[in-house]
Amino acid sequence: DTEVTQTPKHLVMGMTNKKSLKCEQHMGHRAMYWYKQKAKKPPELMFVYSYEKLSINESVPSRFSPECPNSSLLNLHLHALQPEDSALYLCASSLDADLSLTDTQYFGPGTRLTVL
């Protein structure tokens, strides 16, 4: 089973709202990732968690706040977003984020976010 689930599938929010995206995997993976993908562009890495600790933050604005409550769950808390933050947000997981170049990332179906 290589399933990563994400909720919600679609989200529309105003610039003053607070919302959260949720990602879950039960493959025993120790690394989890958030990506942002604009239309017709490749995914851009936002955050990497390894063993439930934030390992990489690709200079993401503080209005995006990641959280990893346990090894199976990854959240992305959203607050005071801008319209340009509208995008597809993809979650992924892999066995190990440490220097393992063979490690395959498995992606969830994504959340399509629209900020009004």
Partner 1 sequence: AQKITQTQPGMFVQEKEAVTLDCTYDTSDQSYGLFWYKQPSSGEMIFLIYQGSYDEQNATEGRYSLNFQKARKSANLVISASQLGDSAMYFCAMREPNSGYSTLTFGKGTMLLVSP
Confirm or reject binding of residue 90 to partner 1 (CB under 8 A).
yes
Confirm or reject binding of residue 114 to partner 1 (CB under 8 A).
no
Confirm or reject binding of residue 66 to partner 1 (CB under 8 A).
no
Interface pick for partner 1 out of 25, 93, 108, 115 (rule CB under 8 A): 108
Confirm or reject binding of residue 100 to partner 1 (CB under 8 A).
yes
Which residue shows structure tokens 């919600």?
8
Binding residues for partner 1 restricted to 6-65, rule: CB under 8 A: 33, 40-43, 45, 48, 50, 55-56
Confirm or reject binding of residue 2 to partner 1 (CB under 8 A).
yes
Burial class (CB in 10 A: 0-12, 13-18, 19+), 94: buried
Nearer CB in complex with partner 1: 33/64? 33
* Alpha-carbon span 110 to 102, nearest angstrom: 23
Which residue shows structure tokens 């209005």?
63
